[in-house]
């Protein structure tokens, strides 16, 4: 992994109801522009609905604006069709659809004609994202409200669907930027270890690694995003390249995993620090203050590691860090989102100055 030096990107979702030049603004502001998800444009851009059209026996209820799996009838024929395309390695079959992901296609067009904005050498990056199989399988149910993750056949299809959509994104983005990052969004991992997730550590790692392996096969970096606190040791034990956490709210929790973090860094891992708040607090902070807050947090991680006999030098993160908002911006306002992107860029400049 090249020297990232606080490369800026974002989670994906934005509050804008239309594109209206949005991708141009993102390319101008971010080192690794991510295609925008627009849940206010249509419910089809919800982070679950967006990736669902290729799944077997999925039903889209436009009135209630939800999706679910219909398992009342034999789902074998639908599964056979799905696996025919999967086993034939027909990656294009799993392409995002423009009516579900308008921002993806708009970003592709923008990147085709845009010059990379980063002042840091060799930073020709782009970012994509896909909802992870754990969060998808626990959120999207069947008609009886049973989580699809606990249906063995559906769970495997959800996992395979995520791998193929991730691979397809890499291929498209690599046509316009040589360096591609795909984040696997797993908000439900915040509930890992509770009664809400009946999965073992080994099951979680195996499922996520299957997606990360697919991303690596296409020559891209794999990231994982959890927007709240979780067992970071589990995510650090996967094959992920970039760990993304809400550093504004939870950086001290990362300090609880010094051994796992050390091993992650030793194999080349990087951290995407969500240090810029994604709510009204953005109007009460400064880029300089956020930069210092992150430096303090990194020193805390280093000090806690040292107390456990583990050496993690703060300077290591200069080359192993990305900067992102604390979480997605889809539920905020356009005014907040615009300010977040501005402060994000300014904070990166402060951090690069040391």
Helices (H), 121-238: 133-139, 152-174, 201-217, 232-236
CB 141 within 8 Å of CB 154? no
DSSP states of 68-93: EE--SS--HHHHHHHHHHHHTT-GGG
Rounded Cα distance between 333 and 317, Å, is: 32
pTM across the whole model: 0.94
Domain positions in the chain are 7-52+95-352
Residue 198 pLDDT: 80
Q: What is the pLDDT of residue 2?
A: 61
Is domain 7-52+95-352 in CATH 1.20.210.10, yes or no?
A: no
pLDDT computed for residue 120 by the predictor = 43
pLDDT tens-digit readout, 183-202? 999 998 877 767 677 888 89
Residue 3's pLDDT band (boundaries 50, 70, 90)? Answer: confident
Backbone angle region of 254, left / alpha / beta, with phi > 0 → left and psi within -120 to 50 → alpha: alpha
Average pLDDT of the residues of the chain:
94
Cα separations in angstroms, 325 against 15, 266, 335: 14, 26, 14
Residue 213 above 90 pLDDT? yes
What is the Cα–Cα distance from 48 to 278, expressed in whole angstroms? 21
- The answer for residues whose C-beta is within 8 angstroms of residue 307's C-beta and 6 or more apart is none
pLDDT band at residue 88 under the 50/70/90 scheme: very high
pLDDT tens digits, 298-316: 999 999 999 999 999 999 9
């Amino acid at each position: 992994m090249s020297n990232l030096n606080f490369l800026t990107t974002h989670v994906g979702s934005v509050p804008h109801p239309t594109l209206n030049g949005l991708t141009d603004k993102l390319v101008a502001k971010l080192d690794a522009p991510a295609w925008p998800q627009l849940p206010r444009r249509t419910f089809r851009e919800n982070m679950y609905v967006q990736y669902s059209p290729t799944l077997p026996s999925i039903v889209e209820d436009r009135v209630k604006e939800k999706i679910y799996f219909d398992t009342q009838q034999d789902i074998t024929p639908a599964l056979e069709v799905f696996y025919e395309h999967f086993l034939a390695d027909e990656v294009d079959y799993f392409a995002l659809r423009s009516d579900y992901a308008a921002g993806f296609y708009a970003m592709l067009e923008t990147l085709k004609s845009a010059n990379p904005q980063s002042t840091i050498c060799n930073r020709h990056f782009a970012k994509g994202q896909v909802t992870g199989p754990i969060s998808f399988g626990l959120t999207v149910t069947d008609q009886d409200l049973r989580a699809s993750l606990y249906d063995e056949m559906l769970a495997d299809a959800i996992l395979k669907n995520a791998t193929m959509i991730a691979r397809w994104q890499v291929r498209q983005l690599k046509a316009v930027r040589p360096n591609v990052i795909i984040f696997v969004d797993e908000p439900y991992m915040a509930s890992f270890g509770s009664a809400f997730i009946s999965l073992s550590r080994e099951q979680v790692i195996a499922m996520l690694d299957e997606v990360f392996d697919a991303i690596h096969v296409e020559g891209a970096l794999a990231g994982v995003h959890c927007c709240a606190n979780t067992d970071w040791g589990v995510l650090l034990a996967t094959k992920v390249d970039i760990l993304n956490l809400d550093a504004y709210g939870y950086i001290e929790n990362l300090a609880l995993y010094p051994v796992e973090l050390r091993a992650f860094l030793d194999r080349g891992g990087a951290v995407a620090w969500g240090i810029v708040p994604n709510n009204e607090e953005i109007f009460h902070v400064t880029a300089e203050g956020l930069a210092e807050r992150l430096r303090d947090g990194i020193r805390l991680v280093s000090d806690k590691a040292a107390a456990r006999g583990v050496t993690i030098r703060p300077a290591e993160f200069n080359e192993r860090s990305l900067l992102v908002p604390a979480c997605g911006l889809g539920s905020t306002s356009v005014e907040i989102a615009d300010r977040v992107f501005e402060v994000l860029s300014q904070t990166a400049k402060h951090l690069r100055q040391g």
